[in-house]
Amino acid sequence: MKHRIVYQGIPGAFSHIAALGHFGADNTFSGLPTFHEIFARIENRQADYGVIPLENSLAGSIGENYDLLYKNDVSVIDEYYQPIRHHVLISKSPHSDKTIGIQNIQRIYSHPKALEQCIKFFKNHDYIAPQAYNDTAEAAEYVASEQRTDIAAIASKEAAELYGLDILVRDVQDNINNWTRFFIITSVHPEPDILVHDTVYKCSIIFTLPHIPGSLYDIIGIFANAHLNLSKIESRPIHGKAFEYVFYIDVEFHSHDYALIHKLIRLCSEMTNEIKVLGYYPKAHIKNNF
């Protein structure tokens, strides 16, 4: 059965590439302008799954999506690691036979997070102005439409193929070991009764705490005392409440600890103002295939 899958951006964006990598091409994929619209489609059941980036190994967390996970009624059912390789893409002008070199480029368009991942490149080419754009693939589409020799985009090789661009410089990210972690979200709230034996899982939780000394320390201690690893801790400001925060954690556990996780979450619920379990899902592994 084909699934309806939504992502932010247009074909050739890294979210689209991740969606294809996770689900396979035999599905229906729709690109949306904003992350907010992804969550709205999922909550309204106008799509089966959403693919959202959560953090990048170079540029860090994407705060907007942590906020949307807190505010919206969705579940996380899986995670996916997408390798990110940024290339400088150019369009040759139909009015010129001259070969375009990097010295001809005056401005490069890309998503702000992509530009953040290419700081060394811009330091080494300080005559080039980085220009923020909605999306890496949209930047590639724009450069293709302009047919100019003085602008370029930073985007994927898939975007180059889709929009008929040439790759001028390959791998301009600061580090070749560049990955983005994606969440797969849905509107249903599955709770697995049987987990795959001898498999490492993650449980993602969002909560708020009372303003008393040691409240976060006590929550972390619940999992530390059970010898469970917290692989991620993130705090985000609560909009409308000055200097109050919502906390996000990922807890790693083995399949045989599933009952223990439920017990620990019940303990946490007694110590928090509010708590939401986003989901349980197998821990994804990075495969270095560069």
Domain 191-290 CATH superfamily: ACT domain (3.30.70.260)
Q: Note if 23 is an active site residue.
A: no
Kindly report, residue by residue over 168-205, the tens digit of the pLDDT.
999 999 998 999 999 999 998 766 655 677 789 999 99
Cβ contacts of 212 within 8 Å, gap of 6 or more: none
Kindly report, residue by residue over 80-96, the tens digit of the pLDDT.
999 999 999 999 766 55
- Calpha distance 26→96 (Å, rounded): 41
- Calpha distance 289→172 (Å, rounded): 17
The pLDDT assigned to 37 comes to 98
The pLDDT assigned to 100 comes to 78
Q: Do domains 87-169 and 191-290 have the same CATH topology?
A: no
pLDDT > 90? residue 99: no
> Which is the catalytic residue, given 136, 180, 186, 272?
180
User: Where do the domains of the chain lie?
Assistant: 1-84+177-190, 87-169, 191-290
For the chain, give me the number of helices (H) and strands (E)? 9, 15
- Calpha distance 106→118 (Å, rounded): 16
Kindly report, residue by residue over 111-134, the tens digit of the pLDDT.
999 999 999 999 999 999 999 999
Domain 1-84+177-190 CATH superfamily: Periplasmic binding protein-like II (3.40.190.10)
Selected residue with higher pLDDT from 289 and 212: 212
> Which is the catalytic residue, given 23, 29, 182, 223?
182
Specify whether the backbone of 168 is left (phi greater than 0), alpha (psi in -120 to 50) or beta: alpha
- 288 falls in which pLDDT band (50, 70, 90)? low
Domain 87-169 CATH superfamily: Periplasmic binding protein-like II (3.40.190.10)
Q: Note if 253 is an active site residue.
A: no
